[in-house]
Structure formats: C-alpha cells, structure tokens
C-alpha cells in the first residue's frame, strides 16, 4: 500500500506538470483546428461538381460529407511551455547522498562545462529535470564535503532550496519554508489551497532521474540558515584495507597518536591556491577493526577498516594518514613517527611520500545537531536492491579470484628440505611475494617547502602577474573615444 501511495502521488505530480505545460497550447490548438475546418469547408463548397478524388478511400464531394469524414491521423504539435517555478514556494532541505565514486572525477562540479564527469554535476542536473530547482546559483546550494576522484560516499550531505507543495498558509509554521511573492497569486497556489497535496517525495522523484551509482537516501527540512558545510558537527571516513602483512596492533598504537587537535600540514596536500593557511584540525576518534564481524582468519584475505571521525579535514588528509599507518604496520616506521610529523616546529617540511589509494576511501557519515532524516520504505528497498546488485557482482568476482589463490596452495614444488631426493616435492606454503621496495625512513627523505615559503612564492607570482598586466600596452580597440 505504501508503494502504491508513492507511485500514485508521483503520477499525479507528473500529470499536473504535463497539464501545466500544454494548458497554454490547448486554446491555440483549438483555434487552429476551427480555422482549418472552416477553410476546408469553404474549399469543398467551391469545388467543381465534376471533380473526382482519385485517391483511395471515400470521395468527399460536399461540405456535408466533410463533416462525417474521419479525423486526420496527423499528430497535433503543442507549443512547448517551460515549467514555471515562480508559481511555487520553496523549502530549504538537506539531502543525504550515497554514491560509488569510481567512475567520477570527484564530487565537486568542474564548472558550467561539466556535463557529468562529477557526482555534483549529475545530481544538480537531475534536480533541474525534476523541476525542483531552476539552477545552482539561485538555490542556496551548499555541500558538506568534497571527495576526490575515485572516492565514494554513503553520508554526503547537501543543503538546497527545492520547490514545495506547501502553500503560504500551510507553510507558515513549517521548518525551512520560503515564501515567494511571485507565487501568491498564481493559479497553481489556488488549486493547492483548494485541494492540498502531500509534500513532494524528493527522494523518490530525484532517484528516478539518477544513475544506479548515485542515489539520494533521505531528506530533512532544515532552517533557512542551515548550511551543509558550516553546520556539520562531525564527519566520519572509512578506509578499507587487506590485512596482508600489516601488524594491526602497531597500526592501532600509531593511530591513537592522531587523536586531538594538531597541525596536519605533514599529512595532507597544502591547498595554497585555494587560500587555505590554517591546517589545524581536531580528530575526535580513530579505530582499526575488522570490516565484518566474522572476518577471514587468513591474513591474505582478512579485511579491516580504519574509521576516522573529526570536525573537519584538509585536502588528502585521510589518505596521507593511512599511508603512514601502513608504513608502521609493515614495520618500516615506528608508531612514534606520527608524533614526530605532527610536531611542525621541529619538522616544518613535509617528507615526500605517496598517498594511499583512493578506491577504498568512503565519506561514511556527516552529523548535524537536531537533524532527523526522513526515509521512505519503498525508496530504501529500491536503493538496497541497486547496492546489492553492485555487491553481488563484486563478491562473485572476488570469490572466483580467491578460489584461484587457494588452489595455488595445493601446487607441489621441488622440495627444499636438506638431503631431499632430487625428484621429491612438497606443498607450497602459500606465502605471497609482496612487492617491497627499499624503504627510506620518512625523516631522511627529501622534503617540500615550508608553508611560509609556499605562501611567499604565491605572493610574488601574483605581484609579478599584476605588474605585467599594468605594463601591457593599451590596444587601440581598448581606448574609449568618449
């Protein structure tokens, strides 16, 4: 019954939208039909009596027979009319987004020319197609975080103004209601007042226009001053990894040293171009636990998860933290390397090291005070079905490869036992040949410039650019004759 109610509500919404688009063209189409009939009748009356129609079908010889002729099968063309959002009030809402980022160049849109390479561009385009927003600039849009290329999310949050079915009277006491003067006298509002409609199912309507790897999971009305970026109380990331040859206890000892407020300039990529000069962030908690309650005891296949919770993070912070933790887990660095790199007075320059992969990173949750998410049973069932399809395909592929790895352990290899016969064999131990490069201690590596040097370098570049523009000769077409 819940499914039927949602489908019926959505069908009524789409029907009303279509009626509004063609309403204006109906009168014009009727007038054109009447004019066409009048012209046809006049032509038939002046047709010579001896004229014969040589086409197939009944012959039309006078106006009386024309009235009984079958209507034309030619499709009538209605004048397209854009959906007028100014006839509706708005509501400030928060949307919770889940997406698999493997096929996208990050979450944040790359500008007006972005045709779908980012999650944000695809999401905003779907909201426009659903006639929920006019464009991004006029919808008070804000995002909680921006994930990099290949990174996924389960709890990304945006805040935005969307079209609402609430009238001025009904929305007066509702959270997030935005009264629009242009909608007060519209015919749409009169109909909504006479026959109130339930609030738009933002989750269901938007998901119909989104691909399977991007879905809205919930929504919530929020106060007008709510901002998805600045209103968040915490953000949580999960980073998945195989245990392999990592010492989990050593990694846990190093991870605890991140807790608290520190300067993370040695655990990130400095965003000087973006104007970021403060790299102090607070880590609320960090843990390293099995990804599943019952994990594979075989270290080759045991899946673990690093979960980090903090108020905010700097660029690439989680991937840099994970990279150093893996060095500790492999025994290449001591856990105390974390304390050393957090001491920017003693180590102001970041050692050069590679970040961990983007694939296993997930923005898992964004928390906001006093925010209650609204879910729909039908929408959750559909999203679960889509995610289960993704998981099933990946799990089956993993099971096939895993069986091959286990099968290799049954192989017989020449015996390595002292005094063994030349043709004797033994079972392979199954040890993996991990690719290990010679490790150079982090504190002995080449370093990048300090934050102060980078800021000064940028200042000099901007000054040189401004001087070059001032010294540029004025072109003749740039001179205003008046």
**Token pair of 202 as six digits:** 């933002």
Identify the burial level of 308 via C-beta atoms within 10 angstroms of its C-beta, where 0-12 means exposed, 13-18 middle and 19 or more buried.
Answer: buried
Question: Considering Cα of 39, then 41, then 43, then 46, what sign does the dihedral take?
Answer: negative
Choose among 106, 110, 114: nearest CA to 152.
Answer: 106
Task: Retrieve residue 332's tokens.
Answer: 């290449």
Kindly report the backbone phi and psi dihedral angles of residue 186, in degrees, each rounded to the nearest multiple of 5, phi listed first.
-80, 155
212 classed as catalytic = no
d(CA 482, CA 467): 27
Given the residues 84, 114, 148, 245, select the one marked as catalytic. Answer: 148
Phi then psi for residue 234, to 5 deg, are: -165, 160
Residue 289: CB atoms within 10 Å: 13
Contact 284, 234 (CB under 8 A): yes
Catalytically active residues are 148
């Amino acid at each position: 019954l819940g499914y039927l109610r949602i489908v019926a509500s959505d069908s009524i919404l789409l029907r009303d939208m279509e009626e509004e688009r063609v309403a204006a063209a109906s009168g014009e189409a009727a007038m054109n039909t009447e004019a066409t009939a009048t012209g046809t009748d006049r032509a038939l009356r002046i047709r010579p009596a001896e004229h014969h129609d040589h086409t197939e079908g009944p012959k039309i010889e006078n106006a009386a027979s024309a009235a009984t002729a079958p209507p034309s099968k030619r499709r009538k063309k209605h004048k397209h009319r854009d959906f007028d959002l100014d006839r509706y009030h708005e509501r400030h809402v928060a949307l919770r987004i889940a997406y698999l980022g493997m096929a996208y160049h990050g979450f944040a849109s790359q500008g007006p020319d972005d045709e779908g390479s980012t999650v944000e561009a695809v999401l905003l385009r779907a909201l426009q197609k659903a006639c929920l927003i006019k464009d991004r600039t006029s919808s008070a849009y804000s995002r909680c975080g921006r994930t990099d290329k290949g990174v996924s999310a389960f709890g990304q949050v945006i805040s935005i103004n969307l079209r609402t079915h609430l009238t001025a009277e009904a929305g007066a006491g509702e959270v997030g209601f935005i009264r629009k003067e242009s909608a007060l006298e519209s015919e749409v509002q009169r109909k909504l007042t006479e026959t109130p409609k339930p609030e738009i199912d933002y989750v269901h309507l938007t998901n119909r226009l989104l691909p399977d790897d991007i879905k809205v999971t919930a929504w919530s009305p929020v106060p007008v001053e709510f901002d998805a970026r600045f209103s968040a109380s915490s953000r949580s990331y999960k980073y998945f990894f195989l245990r392999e040859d990592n010492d989990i206890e050593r990694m846990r000892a190093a991870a605890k040293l991140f807790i608290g407020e520190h300067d993370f300039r040695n655990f990130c990529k400095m965003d000087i171009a973006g104007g970021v000069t403060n790299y102090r962030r607070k880590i609320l908690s960090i843990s390293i636990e099995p990804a599943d309650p019952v994990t594979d005891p075989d270290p080759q296949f045991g899946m673990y998860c690093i979960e980090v919770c903090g108020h905010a993070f700097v660029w690439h912070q989680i991937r840099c933290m994970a990279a150093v933790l893996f060095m500790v887990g492999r025994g290449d660095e001591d856990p105390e390397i974390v304390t050393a790199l957090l001491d920017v007075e003693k180590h102001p320059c970041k050692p050069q090291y590679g970040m961990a992969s983007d694939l296993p990173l997930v923005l898992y949750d964004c928390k906001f005070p006093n925010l209650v998410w609204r879910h729909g049973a039908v929408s959750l069932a559909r999203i679960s079905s889509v995610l289960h399809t993704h998981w099933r395909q990946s799990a089956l592929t993993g099971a096939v490869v895993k069986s091959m790895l286990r099968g290799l352990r049954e192989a017989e290899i020449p015996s390595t036992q002292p005094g063994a016969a030349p043709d004797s064999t033994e079972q392979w131990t199954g040890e993996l040949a991990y690719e290990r490069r010679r490790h150079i201690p982090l504190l002995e590596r080449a370093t990048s410039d300090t934050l102060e040097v980078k800021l000064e370098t940028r200042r000099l570049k901007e000054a040189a650019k401004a001087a070059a523009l001032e010294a540029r000769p004025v072109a003749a077409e740039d001179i205003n004759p008046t």
